[in-house]
Amino acid sequence: MAKIEDLKEEARKLLREGKIKYVIGYAAGTNGWMASPIFIKKPEDVEKLVWDPTCVHNLSRFLVDEKRRKEREKQPDKRPVGIFVKGCDSRAIVVLLQEKFIDRNDVYILGISCEKGGVVDEHKLARKLEGKKPKKIELGDKGQLVVTTANRKAEFPVEELLAERCLECRANFPVISDIMSGEKIKRTVEKPFGSVEKMERMPKEERWRFWKEQLDKCIRCYACRSVCPMCYCDECVVDSINLAVSADTTAEEKADKVKWIQRSAESSENFVYHFVRAIHLAGRCIDCGECERACPLDIPVRFLNKKLEREAKELFGYEVGFDPAQPSLVSSFRDDDPEDFIR
């Protein structure tokens, strides 16, 4: 059983000894039940850390911000940052390492295994509780989820409450860490791409209608991009108003910024935005599902990425985020590549 106490002890020690700059973890949320990210700088605040199935956030996104901050500072504090990661989050760190965006010495990874659990899906929970507000959600010792509301305690099998991605997860414990709590339990996932397969079974026209309807909703708030640990580009090729300017950027370069899509949230532009983003995440997305969670319009963005994850696996045997030393999907080439998809 994963114990947050061990990790807390380690975090406290590291902070006390000044070995890390701060710890990014989860604390009880303001709404009472959903955990929210917390930055802890003082050893005495470590007490605030929590670990339960509501710790949905992929905190590795904050490493991107940390890097930016360091780049801006004249004399940056180069100590590593402590970070709590689940299995999926740890794979995001692997990709960041693989792409040399961060250095292994920049992070101190405190890993927690989800074991047989995962994180809950807010929507599923709301439906189950029929509007009642949960107070506490725990993983029970029989692998069930125990939900406490104001007047009762209910138990549910994990399948009924966990996020779809957790049910399809093949890395339920951290693949990289400096200290880890919990067991490295391999769980059997019968259909790792079950949700995609369901989508693929739709006839073409219906699928088109479905996506058109979904993407027409998009208001291009870029929440999916902002929450994604892989969307760390300074300038987004499919965002015509975002421009990375440095001291040596010439006026000409600014003028030459290509506007591949328009700013307006129209159907065609939305399609280009989402499809380019999906392609740019091919072989990089680790399926933390944050894009979909952050979307205020409930667009099922995750499917696009999941589909490409599957293509990468089936066509090239490529799995994301397990080995920081492996070349990235789009930059690797094998002599024996059958290139079937071209014919």
Which residues lie near other proteins (CB under 8 A)? 99-101, 232-235, 237, 244-246, 248-249, 253, 256-260, 280, 327-328, 330-333
Distances (CA, A) of 14 to 20, 40, 79, 180: 6, 12, 11, 15
Q: How far is the CB of 280 from other proteins (least distance, A)?
A: 5
CA R_g for the chain: 21
Q: How far is the CB of 259 from other proteins (least distance, A)?
A: 8
Report the residue number, 1 or 333, with the smaller CB distance to other proteins.
Answer: 333
Report the residue number, 193 or 271, with the smaller CB distance to other proteins.
Answer: 271
Tokens 């009880």 belong to 28
Report the residue number, 333 or 341, with the smaller CB distance to other proteins.
Answer: 333
**What is the Cα–Cα distance from 302 to 43, expressed in whole angstroms?**
37
Q: How far is the CB of 28 from other proteins (least distance, A)?
A: 35
Q: How far is the CB of 235 from other proteins (least distance, A)?
A: 6
Q: Are strands 134-139 and 107-112 parallel, antiparallel or unpaired?
A: unpaired
Report the residue number, 148 or 328, with the smaller CB distance to other proteins.
Answer: 328
What's the sign of the alpha-carbon dihedral 211, 320, 92, 188? positive
Q: How far is the CB of 236 from other proteins (least distance, A)?
A: 9
Helices and strands counted in the chain (H then E): 13, 8
Measured from the Cβ of residue 89, the count of other Cβ atoms closer than 10 Å reads 27
Report the residue number, 158 or 308, with the smaller CB distance to other proteins.
Answer: 308
Q: How far is the CB of 233 from other proteins (least distance, A)?
A: 5
**What is the Cα–Cα distance from 292 to 301, expressed in whole angstroms?**
5
Report the residue number, 253 or 314, with the smaller CB distance to other proteins.
Answer: 253
Full DSSP string of 145-212: EEEEESS-EEEEEHHHHB-HHHHT-S--S-SS-SEEES-------S-TTHHHHHHHTS-HHHHHHHHH
